[in-house]
Chains A and B, each alone.
Chain A
């Protein structure tokens, strides 16, 4: 009897610990996601002096011709880039998963490169390829690069890896029995494509379309380089906030930027729910049958895509290693001398960026995993688990620009007015991290929260719930189960989350461009300002350094995964 009582008491204590933990995660998300967003919404309905202005800011916005043009520009850019990148990604992932194509790993990795570099690099590489003195221009290919064409090419490349990743997953979930049945009925290849393959991946396709649309709708890097006078919303926000320090107007544009993202998020949610039922346990994985002509075509297609990618980055590498494009092509390493750029802050900026990426990766992985664990492996606290889950997937719908804007509005204010109480103000306790690297770390953690969170949730879902039940009945405290069973089994997922945080934190611009200060310079923003003052070659050099670090980190991760797979097979 006493023993049982003890057990119950232990259980209660554990519940208190778990309860506090889940509340802490929830409070973290409320403080750094919900409150900043609220400040953003408030700002949009205020005038410069902080008085309530209703829809006046919106009215002012829609009266300005150039701003309204930006909206249609942005939609146009996003629509065309999405069409191009998703089409290419569709055939690319189709070739890799359904065709007999050699060097699949090689193609996949090269196709992924664009996510490892800041988007400015894509824009700058375009100038070297298609600009007035570009390589292709010299060969006679005239492209009106500056403006929509340049932005569309850059965005298409930028969105390609994400679309490919989503579609690869979609293609991998095929049921071979359907194809066998079609075969026996003598269905033509084209008919199979439209009646089996495309319907099969339709959810992946829709999801890829929306993600690509959101990415190209909100990207800042590429339009800032090759946009010329073609204004888009992301550069508008930058001009309003950084250029004219008009935060209220920036907030208005920020809210407009949120719309497609929220729409895509809603669609994604609906699809996710439906997709779960698409594959049954009886499905048989797809078996690739050799078919020479189409295999050849697929190989050539993949080859063309990867060569184009390689060309992009080779040109950028070349440009960073010469003295003066296009008139003096002597080899030099001087562009890599970081001490000479950004008012002598180049090295600090570079170090800060790596430090921020490391901290964001460690803290981000910790918080997202903890959150996912508490939501997944817990029977109690239904309401708070539900709320925390919702808050955890929300960042997927928030473009980086909006994260940055809401952060600067939230953290920059030393005090907040308390409604209806005159004479007293609420001190902002988080104001102290404004101007430090911590605000950037927090912004990265929130900005990239959802994907690692989903990774963790998926990994935890795969683990048998019995582990928890058994340990509970054996009176093993939950943290021991966590340390001895759950964590070791989730190590691959945790590594993946870590790498995701690191890679993205290192190259992101959209959020942090609003948050950096001279006391905490960072590399990706330094690239924007280098480019803005015409120092293209040092800007490229800085991009290449970031790309290189990301490739090394990813490389180490891949190698370790490979080793683990091998060792687990042999044992």
Chain B
């Protein structure tokens, strides 16, 4: 008897929960997104460097003490696939400092809400979407660079410093090069795109095949090859300008040196955008206004020589005097965005499990 009572109660409980949970398929969509419209919380997705985020955000937090800023910081590739995966039910309110190539992918998927932040006129035309109300607005540019650990090279009996992509193919550097994995890292992708644009598709992949022979490891993020090289784990790190200069400085100039490839650097912009949602928050727009305000632009300029309002007057130490000349001139970001998936697929198929074929 008691068994039946208990069973009955359980069944009743389960049933009542379940029936409460069944809804019409189309009614559900609107209700699930409306829950997020809290003006005191903003979800920011970013691929900016970790220490930069902490530093940059200080001002915004001071100006908006009541706002909780939830930052999701990861490598470019990961942020991009996260955004794509959450397409139907976006978590992010704004994207801050993500590569333009990635933002173009999102724009092609109609995931961005055009918005002209305050002061957008100051941003140079090549640094923003060309629509009247831009879908994305750039903040700065970053580019391929090498960091060379001279001490490690010397210990292998090498006293030259590679200065070009061609140099990297020299067999003496075999097993000494660390590069970032383009599937996860934006730096890796812009380097691959730069090479493909510099050499053309066919010769570009040929070059990458040969480079692969010398590469010891493909790493998760753009920073990791530079940091590991500076710590003496590898001889040459293919990374990006800011990180190479910063890591070289940390290790000391007699040990490490940052080098910009003589053929020119692959590059991309870091840009901001508003994510398309049913319930747009005011705070998101406020954040995007702040993210290109004068103060913060100055802060970007302390780390990157090229910001979206033009090359800054005080070029940070370590960069060449004309940083714009270093960039590969006609990189086609629209094409890069369109081909992103196929490039990553063939890259992964060719190189992803480097040590595997030797087994």
Instruction: Decide: A532 and B221 in contact? CB cutoff 8 A.
Output: yes
With both beta carbons as reference points, the residue of chain A lying nearest to B218 in the complex is identified as: A229
- Is A96 part of the binding interface, using a Cβ–Cβ cutoff of 8 Å? no
Bound together, the chains give a CA A324 to CA B23 distance in angstroms of 58
Segment 24-72 of A: residues with Cβ below 8 Å from B: 27, 64-66, 69-70, 72
One digit per residue, 1 when the CB lies within 8 angstroms of any chain B CB and 0 when it does not, for chain A 298-340 equals: 0000000000000000000000000011111000000000011
- Is A245 part of the binding interface, using a Cβ–Cβ cutoff of 8 Å? yes
Instruction: Decide: A534 and B70 in contact? CB cutoff 8 A.
Output: no
Segment 78-130 of B: residues with Cβ below 8 Å from A: 78, 81-82, 84-85, 89, 91
Bound together, the chains give a CA A427 to CA B25 distance in angstroms of 9
Instruction: Decide: A245 and B82 in contact? CB cutoff 8 A.
Output: yes
User: Of B225-233, B274-282, B311-319, which binds chain A?
Assistant: B225-233
Instruction: Decide: A343 and B53 in contact? CB cutoff 8 A.
Output: yes
Instruction: Decide: A324 and B250 in contact? CB cutoff 8 A.
Output: yes
- Is A424 part of the binding interface, using a Cβ–Cβ cutoff of 8 Å? yes
Instruction: Decide: B356 and A533 in contact? CB cutoff 8 A.
Output: no
Total A-B pairs, Cβ < 8 A: 170
- Is A230 part of the binding interface, using a Cβ–Cβ cutoff of 8 Å? yes
Tell me how far the C-beta of A329 lies from the nearest C-beta in chain B, rounded to whole angstroms: 12
Instruction: Decide: A327 and B81 in contact? CB cutoff 8 A.
Output: no
Instruction: Decide: A425 and B28 in contact? CB cutoff 8 A.
Output: yes
Q: How large is the interface on A (under 10, 10 to 19, 20 to 34, 35 or more residues)?
A: 35 or more
With both beta carbons as reference points, the residue of chain A lying nearest to B92 in the complex is identified as: A518
Instruction: Decide: B183 and A244 in contact? CB cutoff 8 A.
Output: yes
Instruction: Decide: B22 and A425 in contact? CB cutoff 8 A.
Output: yes
Instruction: Decide: A534 and B251 in contact? CB cutoff 8 A.
Output: no
Contact A424/B356 with A20-B9, A324-B250, A327-B232 known, Cβ cut-off 8 Å: no
Bound together, the chains give a CA A146 to CA B228 distance in angstroms of 12
Which residue from B73, B231, B353 sits with its C-beta under 8 Å from A133? B231
Bound together, the chains give a CA A418 to CA B54 distance in angstroms of 45
Contacts of B23 in A (CB 8 A): 415, 424-425, 427
With both beta carbons as reference points, the residue of chain B lying nearest to A413 in the complex is identified as: B89
Segment 246-261 of A: residues with Cβ below 8 Å from B: 247
Contacts of B251 in A (CB 8 A): 324, 327
Bound together, the chains give a CA A127 to CA B56 distance in angstroms of 32
- Is A536 part of the binding interface, using a Cβ–Cβ cutoff of 8 Å? yes
- Is B43 part of the binding interface, using a Cβ–Cβ cutoff of 8 Å? yes
Which residue from A66, A146, A341, A533 sits with its C-beta under 8 Å from B353? A66
Instruction: Decide: B3 and A245 in contact? CB cutoff 8 A.
Output: no
Which residue from A19, A65, A344, A423 sits with its C-beta under 8 Å from B2? A19
Bound together, the chains give a CA A550 to CA B356 distance in angstroms of 38
Which residue from B2, B183, B359 sits with its C-beta under 8 Å from A16? B2
One digit per residue, 1 when the CB lies within 8 angstroms of any chain B CB and 0 when it does not, for chain A 118-147 equals: 000000000100011100000000000011
Segment 56-91 of B: residues with Cβ below 8 Å from A: 57, 70-75, 77-78, 81-82, 84-85, 89, 91
Q: List 24 A-B contacts (CB under 8 A).
A: A12-B2, A15-B2, A19-B6, A64-B349, A65-B356, A69-B359, A131-B232, A228-B216, A228-B355, A324-B231, A324-B251, A326-B232, A339-B54, A415-B25, A423-B24, A427-B23, A427-B28, A519-B70, A532-B221, A533-B49, A533-B50, A534-B228, A535-B50, A536-B231
5 further A-B pairs in the complex, CB-CB below 8 A; given A23-B6, A340-B51, A423-B25: A231-B352, A324-B251, A423-B24, A519-B70, A533-B227
Partner-B contacts on A (CB < 8 A) = 12, 15-16, 19-20, 23, 27, 64-66, 69-70, 72-73, 127, 131-133, 146-147, 228-231, 239, 242-245, 247, 324-328, 339-345, 381, 414-415, 418, 423-429, 435, 517-519, 529-530, 532-536
Partner-A contacts on B (CB < 8 A) = 2-3, 5-6, 9-10, 17-18, 20-25, 28, 32, 43, 46, 49-51, 53-54, 57, 70-75, 77-78, 81-82, 84-85, 89, 91, 152, 183-184, 216-221, 223-228, 231-234, 250-252, 255, 348-349, 352-356, 359
**Those 3 A-B pairs whose CB atoms lie nearest each other, nearest first:** A534-B227, A245-B85, A133-B232
